[in-house]
């Protein structure tokens, strides 16, 4: 029984080592310090030790890209690193913007024989 | 004399108690703050391995010497997310190929943390080509297993080298 519990804990911890998460689920846009530009703040946590880079994207309901500005479209997020970033969207695009997504970027030399791409999309409300 | 002894004892005890309480009052307290936010977490349990059962096939089936890719998705808010799991449709890196490979794949729910709330995930999934869409209606963990088979056109042999293909796991807020 103890062995089973230890194995379960080990397996659980192995799973937790490779996680990608982004919050909030439903971000809200608010007016920024710039005229006709809205902003929202997102947070990410990288528990994937095989991923160091993530790409941010803003999309409409059909996943067509929407113009946006953030500090870095592709940014480096170390293993177990947190990051908080602002996403700026023009007022004209706010009504079309539906999703803010983060996608893992795997380096070619780091990939194994198969690999998993992860993408999390929050919905703007 | 006796009274003085009692008095001295009382004063010393009170002083000691005061000193101790003063020490407690001065103890540093370090707060640990946390905010729980509803979210979806994508975890890669196993990246998967292609076996090579014959010259013109790559397969993740255990019987072929491979291993399926396993992705775990945790949600902490019920009925807020859909999971899109896409089996590989191309190689992200491979040696120069002699013909066009054909990709086949399938995703299925391997395990759930809540059999009552998640029992219909597999039967209720929507298949769109190589992408399987699951409605994550309950909170908890779901393990998805993705298999992949690649066959080289014209039954030509796969050249020696490393082959990499991607399983894509997406968690999209509803």
Number of domains in chain B: 1
Q: Which residues in chain A are contacts of B111 at CB distance < 8 A?
A: none
**pTM greater than the 0.90 cutoff:** no
* Portion of chain B with pLDDT greater than 90, in percent: 66
- Residue B35 counted as domain residue: no
Beta pairing class for B91-93 and B81-86: unpaired
Work out the minimum CA distance from B85 to partner chain A, whole angstroms: 9
Average pLDDT over residues B33-37: 74
Q: Which residues in chain B are contacts of A117 at CB distance < 8 A?
A: 166-169
Report the C-alpha gap between A87 and A94 in whole angstroms: 12
Q: Which residues in chain A are contacts of B80 at CB distance < 8 A?
A: 25
- Residue B61 counted as domain residue: yes
Could you state, in order of their start, the residue ranges of all structural domains in chain A? 18-123
Q: Which residues, listed in sequence order, are joined to residue B159 by a DSSP beta bridge?
A: none
Chain A residue with Cα closest to B174: A123
Concatenate the DSSP letters of all residues of A92-104 into one string: HHHTT--EEEEEE
Cβ contact, residue pair B44, A48, below 8 Å: yes
ipTM over 0.85: no
Residue A8 has pLDDT above 50, yes or no: no
Residues of A at the B interface, defined by Cβ within 8 angstroms:
14-16, 18-26, 47-48, 50, 99, 106, 108, 111-123
Mean pLDDT of chain A: 83
Q: How confident is the model at residue B14 (pLDDT cuts 50, 70, 90)?
A: low
Residues A71-86 have pLDDT tens digits of 889 999 999 999 999 9
Pick the more confident residue, B85 or A1: B85
- Residue B29 counted as domain residue: no
Report the C-alpha gap between B69 and B87 in whole angstroms: 9
- Residue B30 counted as domain residue: no
* Portion of chain A with pLDDT greater than 70, in percent: 81
- Count the alpha carbons within 13 Å of A108 in the hemisphere toward its beta carbon: 6
- Residue B133 counted as domain residue: yes
Q: How confident is the model at residue B45 (pLDDT cuts 50, 70, 90)?
A: confident
- Residue B156 counted as domain residue: yes
Cβ contact, residue pair B162, A113, below 8 Å: yes
Chain B residue with Cα closest to A106: B166
Q: Domain range for residue B67?
A: 40-173
Q: CA B146, A43, A8, B50 torsion: positive or negative? A: positive
User: What's the CATH number where B52 sits?
Assistant: 2.60.40
Report the C-alpha gap between B72 and B63 in whole angstroms: 23
B18: left (phi over 0), alpha (psi -120 to 50) or beta: alpha
- Residue B75 counted as domain residue: yes
Work out the minimum CA distance from A94 to partner chain B, whole angstroms: 17
Pick the more confident residue, B18 or A33: A33
- Say which CATH superfamily domain A18-123 falls into: Immunoglobulins (2.60.40.10)
Residue A64 has pLDDT above 50, yes or no: yes
Interface probe for A, chosen from B91, B131, B171 (most Cβ of A below 10 Å), is: B171
Report the C-alpha gap between B136 and B75 in whole angstroms: 8
- Residue B136 counted as domain residue: yes
Min mean pLDDT across B11-15, B80-84, B100-104, B170-174 is at B11-15
Residue B44's pLDDT is 87
Q: CA B138, A81, A75, A114 torsion: positive or negative? A: negative
Q: Which residues in chain A are contacts of B38 at CB distance < 8 A?
A: 23-25
Token duo for residue A37: 């530009």
Q: Which residues in chain A are contacts of B130 at CB distance < 8 A?
A: none
Cβ contact, residue pair B45, A15, below 8 Å: yes
Residues B129-169 have pLDDT tens digits of 999 999 999 999 999 999 999 999 888 999 998 888 999 99
């Amino acid at each position: 029984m103890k062995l089973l519990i230890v194995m379960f804990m080990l397996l659980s911890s192995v799973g937790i080592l490779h996680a990608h998460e982004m919050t909030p689920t439903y971000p809200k846009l608010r007016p920024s310090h710039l005229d006709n530009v809205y902003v929202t703040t997102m947070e990410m946590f990288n528990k994937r030790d095989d991923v160091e880079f993530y790409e941010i994207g803003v999309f409409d309901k059909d996943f067509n890209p929407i113009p946006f500005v953030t500090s870095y479209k592709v940014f480096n997020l170390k293993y177990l690193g947190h990051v908080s970033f602002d996403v700026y969207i023009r007022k004209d695009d706010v009504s079309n913007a539906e999703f803010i997504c983060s996608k893992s970027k795997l380096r070619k030399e780091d990939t194994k024989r198969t690999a998993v791409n992860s993408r999390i999309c929050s919905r703007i409300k | 004399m006796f009274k003085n002894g009692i008095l001295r004892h009382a004063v010393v005890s009170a002083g000691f108690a005061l000193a101790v309480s003063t020490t407690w009052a001065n103890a540093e307290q370090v707060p640990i703050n946390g905010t729980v936010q509803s979210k979806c977490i994508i975890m890669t349990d196993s990246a998967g391995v292609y076996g090579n059962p014959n010259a013109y096939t790559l397969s993740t089936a255990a019987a072929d010497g491979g291993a399926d890719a396993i992705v775990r998705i945790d949600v902490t808010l019920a009925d807020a997310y859909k999971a899109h799991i896409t089996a590989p449709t191309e190689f992200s890196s491979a040696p120069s190929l002699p013909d066009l490979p054909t990709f086949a794949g399938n995703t299925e729910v391997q395990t759930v943390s809540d059999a009552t709330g998640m029992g219909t995930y597999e039967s209720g999934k929507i298949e769109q080509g190589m992408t399987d869409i699951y409605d994550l209606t309950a909170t908890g963990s779901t393990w998805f297993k993705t298999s992949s088979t690649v066959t080289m056109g014209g039954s030509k042999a796969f050249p020696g080298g490393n082959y990499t293909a991607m399983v894509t796991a997406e968690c999209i807020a509803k």
